[in-house]
Amino acid sequence: MNIKNISLMSLAVMPWVSGCVSAPLALAPVGPAPASRQSSQASGSLQVFSAQQQSNPVGSIGADSYFYPHSGYDLHDASGRKLKYVANHFNEMDESPDAVRLAPGHYTIVADSTQCGLVTVPVVIEPGKATVVHLDQNWWPPRHTPANQVVFLPDGEGVGWISSAQ
């Protein structure tokens, strides 16, 4: 085989090997866990475990001290209008993603996933409940959970609970 044929075959196989796509990936709506308890609050919350970025802030504990804060993301309303950018961490040493209070409704986030790059995830916020989105490969639904209750990325990574309020 010549170089041209090998190159063409490599390009043809690449989408199947990667498991994800290069354009923003759209997923099914993620909502609160089916068995989540409802608080008396009128608002709900959103927490996004986006891809983590290595950080070694100046003046941290030591020269070899690394932290892995979650990357920021864009939050859009139901019409697609950008509401805000969420930094998703307090400082470069904060490894816990922010919990954002939101009015009940449908939103969309655009965030980085560890394996699939930039993804678009519709989310549903319900009163008094937390919607959690996992894009960092650190969440697995409980064993024996039916696949139709979970939103997955093309590579099989679990993202969150499928929303019951479509």
Residue 7: band (very low, low, confident or very high) from pLDDT cuts 50, 70, 90: very low
Total number of domains in the chain? 1
Yes or no: say if 30 and 149 are a contact pair by the CB < 8 Å rule. no
144 residue type, one letter: H
Q: Could you list the residue range(s) of the whole structural domain that residue 63 is in?
A: 19-162
Task: Render pLDDT for 126-166 as a digit per residue (tens, 0 to 9).
Answer: 999 999 999 988 888 888 888 899 999 888 889 999 998 76
pLDDT at 24 over 90: no
Does residue 8 form part of some domain? no
Does residue 7 form part of some domain? no
Task: Render pLDDT for 46-74 as a digit per residue (tens, 0 to 9).
Answer: 999 998 776 655 555 656 677 768 789 99
Q: What percent of the chain has pLDDT over 70?
A: 72
Yes or no: say if 150 and 144 are a contact pair by the CB < 8 Å rule. no
How far is it, in rounded angstroms, from Cα 163 to Cα 121? 12
pLDDT at 92 over 70: no
How far is it, in rounded angstroms, from Cα 89 to Cα 148? 31
Does residue 4 form part of some domain? no
66 residue type, one letter: Y
DSSP 55: B
Does residue 47 form part of some domain? yes
44 residue type, one letter: G
Length of the chain: 166
pTM: 0.76
Q: What is the structure's pLDDT at 1? A: 52
Q: Where are the beta strands (DSSP E) in 61-162?
A: 73-76, 82-86, 99-102, 105-113, 117-125, 130-134, 150-152, 158-162
Does residue 111 form part of some domain? yes
Does residue 154 form part of some domain? yes
